[in-house]
Structure 1
């Protein structure tokens, strides 16, 4: 009988110690989480303050760490970035991010619209969407890779006219470090251009894909990075196809932007169903209809998917020996 009592007291003592250990572990974990959350908030504020010392300005309104107990992430009521030197500014709504506590360097997030985008030589644009998700694999300095996807995107002029520009079912953007180079991918699905921008011509929806490698492009991700002048890279693939069809263009080749902003490139363009593409381009650019018709007549003898050399010399565009126009200097 006494042995049973001693066994019961021993079990009760172990249970109490185990319960106490769990309580202490929870308290320690909670303290560590809130310490990490406070560190995240302070580092965010410090990074923004350091950035605002230079020609750039950025803001995360009311940065707050959330996600306890199993996640941690940064919340901003709104976000803003401006590069006064290059005339670029972007502002958007609330931003929410989250990472599993055991994988803090892999984070996902959401950004609320609308966003206002201003760039030099172009009118300001407002972008709206139903849902935008962002994911990133972070390192101690710059993200190793970052991706975003937005659904039902609508672009309009941000002025009194509120002129529609374009809409797309899906827009994706991806970037990753490749050594010192930067790989960038932009993908659109069912992109339509408003007829007000195409001389009243209604063009069908099309899918687009851009894959480009920027030489030594990782430095562009720095806030104090110079502009695109003096940069070079390779267009791995630039594809524009009518949605649901094979008619379209595929462009590849190296490209270089000189110190004066003018482009030099040696490109190869494959045209699928050239007659259909020529008809669409002629409707959009009626002043170039004769040149396009002349090119199409030559392509008709080369099959349904001919490939042409397209050279850009100091901003002047040539298809073979035929000039098509010029590209203004890049800033």
Structure 2
């Protein structure tokens, strides 16, 4: 009698499910080998990029560097990160870094940064810790199409003060109507300055920095140099909100002179001037009397004004070389910002 087993084996191998399983197995092997081949290539490119940056005066150290994300993502992991930029004269250190990008979209990255963090520039140092710090960046050429930073439980010390924030965000992008400009928006929730919980506030802002994308991002000039060259800021809306309901709102264009003085004509609105004056005076004592003067001017001359999606009683404040004035009423002088 003829042996029927070979025929059965041929039949099994010819079964559609067997072919599908064989295909999936081969696909996995190819994907596995391809991912690690790309990872080795990417690691080499990272090394080349770091070497090129070092030649341009930017030294970046990524301790225990590894390419991670298998099987569907790819990114870089470092146990600690050190950056020294001789061009902009700053240095920073972070406790660790882990990035991830989809294989099919390598120019869109999510980066998680671990604390502690330190930043030193021109003899000033800032130190910070946080629970979560996550960055999303959509790269475009030598800059970015969008960059977002989110955090929770942030604590920072430096520049003669300290602050805490339960959560917050910072969003940057080239302005859609003028790509040389930089859109900057964000919020600080439950902000506490210098450890005084009685001065807790939340801040939200939406601004346009004129020519800042071209100057700071593309030409890599320092932000302070952009300001000293006559930096212009168009404030779409800025809110400071206190827990008891006190609120300050601002909108309008501002320009910085070479000596750090503000100039412009902006809308100011506020509720509970006394509480707001106490809050800003804790940050800078020279601001307290100005806020109280604003309160008096708004009571006499104010009208309902839109700030973003909100409306609040406000007045137009003219600022010339730091001196503030509502109509004929002089308020005081804003100190230079640098």
Q: TM-score, normalised by structure 2?
A: 0.79
Displacement of 1:88 after TM fit? Answer: 2.9
* Residue 214 of structure 1, aligned match among 206, 209, 212: 209
Residue of structure 2 equivalent to 1:169: 166
Task: Determine the C-alpha separation between the residues in 2 that align with 1:290 and 1:263.
Answer: 17
Residue of structure 2 equivalent to 1:127: 128
Matched, 1:324 2:332: yes
Q: TM-score, normalised by structure 1?
A: 0.81
Contact 2:170–2:186 under 8 Å retained in 1: yes
Query: Which structure has greater strand proportion?
Result: 2
Query: 1:200-279 counterparts in 2 under 5 A?
Result: 203-219=198-214, 220-222=216-218, 224-225=220-221, 227-228=225-226, 229-243=229-243, 245-258=244-257, 262-279=261-278
Displacement of 1:5 after TM fit? Answer: 7.0
Displacement of 1:24 after TM fit? Answer: 3.0
Task: Determine the C-alpha separation between the residues in 1 that align with 2:248 and 2:291.
Answer: 14
Contact 1:191–1:206 under 8 Å retained in 2: yes
Tell me the alpha carbon deviations over residues 55-111 of structure 1, each in whole angstroms, 9 at most, x when there is no partner: 433333343211111221111222233333443332211101122334433332211
Q: Which moved more, 1:252-261 or 1:297-306?
A: 297-306
Task: Determine the C-alpha separation between the residues in 1 that align with 2:22 and 2:161.
Answer: 64
- Local SS of the residue matching 1:328: coil
Closer/same/farther in 2, CA of residues 81 and 236 from structure 1, 3 Å limit: farther
Task: Determine the C-alpha separation between the residues in 2 that align with 1:288 and 1:218.
Answer: 30
- Local SS of the residue matching 1:246: coil
Task: Determine the C-alpha separation between the residues in 2 that align with 1:164 and 1:262.
Answer: 22
Residue of structure 1 equivalent to 2:42: 40
Paired residues, what number? 318
* Residue 111 of structure 1, aligned match among 84, 109, 113: 113
Residue of structure 1 equivalent to 2:320: 313
Residue of structure 1 equivalent to 2:139: 138
Task: Determine the C-alpha separation between the residues in 1 that align with 2:205 and 2:84.
Answer: 26
Contact 1:278–1:296 under 8 Å retained in 2: no
Contact 2:137–2:144 under 8 Å retained in 1: yes
Task: Determine the C-alpha separation between the residues in 1 that align with 2:134 and 2:291.
Answer: 40
Structure 2 stretches lacking a partner, 5+ long:
305-311
Displacement of 1:35 after TM fit? Answer: 2.3
Residue of structure 2 equivalent to 1:198: none
* Residue 52 of structure 2, aligned match among 28, 50, 53: 50
Closer/same/farther in 2, CA of residues 56 and 329 from structure 1, 3 Å limit: farther
Contact 1:185–1:212 under 8 Å retained in 2: yes
- Local SS of the residue matching 2:119: strand
* Residue 98 of structure 2, aligned match among 83, 96, 102: 96
Residue of structure 1 equivalent to 2:154: 153
Contact 1:310–1:317 under 8 Å retained in 2: no
Residue of structure 2 equivalent to 1:187: 187
- Local SS of the residue matching 2:199: coil
Task: Determine the C-alpha separation between the residues in 1 that align with 2:9 and 2:285.
Answer: 95
Structure 1 stretches lacking a partner, 5+ long:
196-200
Displacement of 1:192 after TM fit? Answer: 0.7
Task: Determine the C-alpha separation between the residues in 2 that align with 1:194 and 1:261.
Answer: 25
Closer/same/farther in 2, CA of residues 291 and 30 from structure 1, 3 Å limit: closer
Closer/same/farther in 2, CA of residues 311 and 31 from structure 1, 3 Å limit: farther
Displacement of 1:44 after TM fit? Answer: 1.9
Closer/same/farther in 2, CA of residues 8 and 169 from structure 1, 3 Å limit: same
Task: Determine the C-alpha separation between the residues in 2 that align with 1:80 and 1:90.
Answer: 6
